[in-house]
Structure 1
């Protein structure tokens, strides 16, 4: 029997050790023995470059030590036969092939179409669906620019750590003044993306609003499955078994 697990929005960082410990326990208890694990973005609260793995002694924030520990745990799972896939989120868009290699994982594009029981399923982080948030969409376009990323990665480590902290603070301040619907997905964009990819099932994260939304695409029954974010004591997963039917589930950590 084949089993695939999907998770997103763990936002791992040193200031939330309960989530890190819960995730590592989940890896051993729940993910052990599954065929594939997909992490659909915002795995880390922030990612300033894969060279962070070399500088644990220069990182007073503890992010480097956390990344090394998490990569090691994923590598153990991969070495036992589980295929691991990482998708970029809006917080960890600088996550690179070096971290993926250390974790025994592969990077996947956003969006990605997979087949389960011969049915296509679209996987996304979900931030690109929030088109009504024009300020964020402008930042997203900049942040995905290879030239901009190269410029950021050329900065000294200490400067990048400071920049990451500033961006998190600015994001929090900006989101506090935005209407709730602006930060949610745009229904017409969801329908367009699903139609363009020829799917009737979409799985994504980002909005922190876990739910299964029944809808129609091209007059066909469809569904949008939203993964929730992980918090102390609680997380969210989607399980897809041999029948290809995705099941959204709240999990205790």
Structure 2
């Protein structure tokens, strides 16, 4: 069994999500061969050197799962793209490139966070290119902690305000970009998060049937995609552990 989740946006202000996630780690995830976390695991991450006691407790819980035998793979999201190798070592997980092709149920599957597919949001794409630039990342990681905290709050508030004002299709994926990326990687299944719109979309890639599986976000309920042999099944569950 393989499990895939995304968009938990873990933060101390949402203890209900944290409790549900820790319960998930201690029960269902213990039975899995691997757990893939496809971005926006934390609501905000300003650097491995700024890890809080809350974030360290999450790292410790992941480490326990890893030591129990479940392989953990973590992908950057737009909220936590500054997670580095130090955190991954402490959490016992492997940092996964976005995008990555992995084998699930005997099939080559493309995994992404999903924000890079939203090409109609031109302002966001420009900001993404700037923030993900290696030089920008180096500068961000070397800013004083207080400055990083202020910048993170500013970016988060601006993102929330802009998202509310944008048309729904602007903050969703661009169909042509989905087809292009899937064709580039030679896959018929794409799994991503980011949009908070869980669903399975059928499409054609190079004239062949394909599918795009969107993972759900953890807010009013939790979501997990379970892969067993040839079956991909995503279902919600209550946050009340």
Q: TM-score range by the shorter chain?
A: over 0.9
Q: Which of 33, 39, 52 is 2:37 aligned to? A: 39
CA distance in 2, matches of 1:144, 1:33: 35
SS in 2 for 1:11: coil
CA distance in 2, matches of 1:220, 1:200: 8
Deviations 1:47-81 (A, max 9, x none): 0000013xxxxxxxxxx111100000000000011
Whether 2:173 is the aligned partner of 1:185: answer yes
Per the alignment, residue 208 of structure 2 pairs with: 220
SS in 2 for 1:32: helix
CA distance in 2, matches of 1:179, 1:39: 28
Gaps in structure 2 of 5+ consecutive residues = none
| TM-score normalised by length of structure 2 | 0.97
Per the alignment, residue 134 of structure 1 pairs with: 122
CA distance in 2, matches of 1:140, 1:222: 28
CA distance in 2, matches of 1:52, 1:30: 30
Per the alignment, residue 56 of structure 1 pairs with: none
Per the alignment, residue 241 of structure 1 pairs with: 228
Per the alignment, residue 135 of structure 2 pairs with: 147
Aligned 1:46-85 pairs, distance under 5 A? 46-53=44-51, 64-85=52-73
Gaps in structure 1 of 5+ consecutive residues = 54-63
Runs (4+) off by over 6 Å: none
Cα displacement (A) at 1:20: 0.8
Per the alignment, residue 159 of structure 2 pairs with: 171
Q: Which of 8, 15, 18 is 2:16 aligned to? A: 18
Cα displacement (A) at 1:140: 0.6
Q: Which of 144, 148, 152 is 1:160 aligned to? A: 148
CA distance in 1, matches of 2:102, 2:41: 20
| TM-score normalised by length of structure 1 | 0.92
CA RMSD of aligned residues (A): 0.9
Q: Is the 8 A contact 2:105 2:227 kept in 1?
A: no
